[in-house]
Amino acid sequence: MKLKSTLIVLSLIAAPAFASDQAVSKTREQVQAELVQAMRSGDMLASGESGLTLKQLNPHSYPVTESASGAKTREQVQAELVQAIRTGDIMAGGESGAKLNELEPSRYPAVASAPSLTRDQVKNELARAISQGELVAVGEDGRKLNEIYPDRYHAAHHPAVAGNTQEPAEQSRF
């Protein structure tokens, strides 16, 4: 289990390097130092399927960080609670996981929504995502098609690799 947790943390630490536009690489020592820091601070995921970190499960075993200490006053928290009750932005009882304003929208003031996309815009975004392999592949790992099949999607290549290629962008095989 420790190996599984360690691999998850390492992949989470390394993910921003692959997601950024700049080619950023870390040395093995830097990654190991980050892992040791995560172990000390309790930021590693606990074993099991809870999705909680070790610090969340055992707060007394790890040092208190500034963000965990009382950053809000009692009055601020109470004001937030009153606002949430007024707008229905609190969880409803039961196992639905829905908020009160979602279950009974007529009892609460309408929430201003951002302008939505037109049907044509959504279709264009879907076509682009399909052609670039931005769709999540079937499976439990959550990887996108362009990550699993990088040879099929030119946009999936890492910026450092994509910038060095002299050939024109290949069209998708699909």
Would you say the pTM of this structure is higher than 0.85?
Answer: no
Q: Tell me the pLDDT tens digit for each residue of 79-104.
A: 999 999 998 888 888 877 888 888 88
CA distance 150 to 15: 16
Structure tokens of 130? 């399909």
Q: Tell me the pLDDT tens digit for each residue of 114-161.
A: 788 899 999 999 999 999 988 888 877 788 888 888 888 864 454 544
| Residue 167: band (very low, low, confident or very high) from pLDDT cuts 50, 70, 90 | very low
The percentage of residues in the chain with a pLDDT greater than 70, rounded to a whole number, is 75
Structure tokens of 114? 């951002």
> Which strand (E) or helix (H) includes residue 113?
none
| Residue 76: band (very low, low, confident or very high) from pLDDT cuts 50, 70, 90 | very high
> Which strand (E) or helix (H) includes residue 73?
none
Structure tokens of 37? 């820091």
Q: Report CA-CA distances (Å) from 155 to 24, 134, 147, 150, 172.
A: 18, 9, 10, 8, 10
